[in-house]
Amino acid sequence: MGLVVVVFMVGQALEGWVLTPLLVGDKIGLHPVAVIFALMAGGQLFGFVGMLIALPMAAIIMVLLRHLHRNYKASDLYHAGAAEEKD
């Protein structure tokens, strides 16, 4: 009986801390550590509801950050800094 409990606990821990972040992270484009952090932060800040909305919010934030980064790299401000380094 004790061995069954240990195997079950190890399986649940692996599923919760390794498999789910890897699989979910691939689907939404987040690193597994970011998935775990988003779930933990959402749960700590807003409880159960926070855990439900943590991954969609993290995905939205990642899209916004990628968009801002792409726009910055295409801006004159970024290219002006590169021109000053050449001088």
Domain definitions of the chain by residue range: 2-86
Per-residue confidence at 65, pLDDT binned at 50, 70, 90? Answer: very high
Selected residue with higher pLDDT from 26 and 46:
46
φ, ψ for residue 28, nearest 5 deg? -105, 0
φ, ψ for residue 38, nearest 5 deg? -60, -45
**Cβ–Cβ under 8 Å, residues 38 and 58:** yes
Mean per-residue pLDDT, 17-41 = 82
